[in-house]
A = this chain, B = another copy of it.
């Protein structure tokens, strides 16, 4: 064939890979083989994958290629391999939730979001390592930028795999900071959409109030493309949004009609952030000039505390029965957490739950003239060692408020990536991604 081939398919974004496959300049099999080769070369060190079946991935890729030859109609992710966090059910691979409690578990059905990816033509590449039950006990995955550092958690394998060229995009989930923090530590694009945008059916539940499915990719477009493929109303989920879902990608690619204006927010934990990162943010703000205004918003300390209370109590509700049945299979850290959750009384929980909507309204009322919040995605770069996945404290507040958040790999501190987090109002995911793309372009200029 005379068409120019892609030199290194593992360097493509999901969006460009999908285009290359549609255009016939890359086959899904070539792409998946290249990803498998990269995994083969690096997995011993990075340890991003919990379940990988190369033959199954290649079979899907060949099927995608055959379908495209037979009929030139491609799904939005036709032939593109996607990594799936191992708390998200897949019908053809185990889903073990990062816990020996679920060793050998093979769900019968795909999670709703995985089925949606398959409908869009995606190749389900494999299952990525998660921390224990998507909580704080670290997993074995290493940070590809420096193997001596944590990749963050809980979506450790998904972030590391995308960062390391093993797969162009992957699914994660966030209850406090499980998508945005690993994105920051691993230097990839991460997106936690508005609560209720992506269905949660078939995803391990740790908190019905907080759990949110999201994505990793190599560009803002990737985040929009993957999310677009998965948005749907789920009548079985009370948080699912019963409203139209205009596509994100078109808006995300557009030029903002007026230059965005960002509210640089330093929530209370700012005092604990890495000084080098603070300097990097100051430089970014200086560079953006009048497009950024340092801005105080109310109630953030309360929101941080409410998120903590709600997550603790709901974790104990959903995971406590596992601990009662098999205490020896639950890590000491998680045991302590579940016991703390059981000590919470209903009044404390109710104060936290009922605080959310008034706080959201009060906070967004102060932000009317801004396009998005600009704030660090983590306290600093990835901590050294695998003994911790770092703190989610710069993320849990936005998760609690149900606001969409994106981490953009635009800064560095101590030689490691540091993410710029942008946060927008609920349901305004498309505009947030458009603002994010604008920021990426500004910084690249």
Tally chain A residues at the interface, Cβ within 8 Å: 24
Proximity string of chain A (343-368) to chain B, C-beta cutoff 8 Å, 1 when within and 0 when not: 11111111100100100010000000
Question: Chain B: which residue is nearest A313 at the CB level?
Answer: B346
A51 within 8 A of B: no
A 292-324 binary contact with B (CB < 8 Å = 1; else 0): 000000000000000000000110110010000
**A354: B residues at CB distance < 8 A:** 208, 317
A309 to chain B: closest residue by CB: B346
A98 smallest CB distance to B (angstroms): 22
* In contact, B350 and A314 (Cβ under 8 angstroms): yes
Residues of B within 8 A of A345 (CB): 342-346
* Given known A-B contacts A344-B346, A345-B344, A345-B345, A351 and B317 have beta carbons under 8 A apart: yes
B-side contacts of A342, CB under 8 Å: 345, 347
Q: How many copies are assembled?
A: 2
Closest chain B residue, CB of each to CB of A242: B242
The residue from B208, B313, B350 contacting A317, defined by CB atoms under 8 A apart: B350
By the criterion CB–CB under 8 Å, are A317 and B347 in contact? yes
Q: Residue of B at shortest CB range from A312?
A: B346
A348 contacts across to B, CB distance below 8 A: 346
In the complex the two chains form, is B316's CB within 8 Å of A347's CB? yes
Decide yes or no whether A238 CB sits under 8 A from chain B: yes
Could you say which residues of chain B place their CB within 8 Å of the CB of A349? 346, 349-350
A343 to B347: give the CA distance in the assembly, Å.
9
A64 → chain B, closest Cβ, in Å? 36
Measured in the bound complex, the distance between the Cα atoms of B418 and A63 in whole Å is 67
Question: How long is the Cα–Cα vector from A320 to B346 in the complex, in angstroms?
Answer: 12
Distance in angstroms from A136 CB to nearest chain B CB is 20
Considering the chains assembled together, what is the distance between the CA atoms of A313 and B349 in angstroms?
A: 10
Q: Which residue of B is nearest A343, CB measured?
A: B345
Chain B residues with CB under 8 Å of A238's CB are 357
Measured between beta carbons, the chain B residues less than 8 angstroms from A341 are 346-347
How many Å from the CB of A237 to the closest CB on chain B?
9
**Residues of the B chain whose Cβ atoms lie less than 8 Å from the Cβ of A316:** 346-347
Query: How far is it, in angstroms, between the C-alpha of A135 and the C-alpha of B341 when the chains are bound?
Result: 31
Complex contacts, A346 vs chain B, CB 8 Å = 313, 316-317, 341, 344-346, 348-349
Check: A243 CB closer than 8 A to any chain B CB: yes
User: Across the two chains, which residue of chain B brings its CB closest to A357?
Assistant: B238
A311 to chain B, nearest CB (A): 12
CB-CB < 8 A to A242: which residues of B? 242-243
Interface, chain A (partner B; CB < 8 A): 208, 236, 238, 242-243, 313-314, 316-317, 320, 341-351, 354, 357, 361
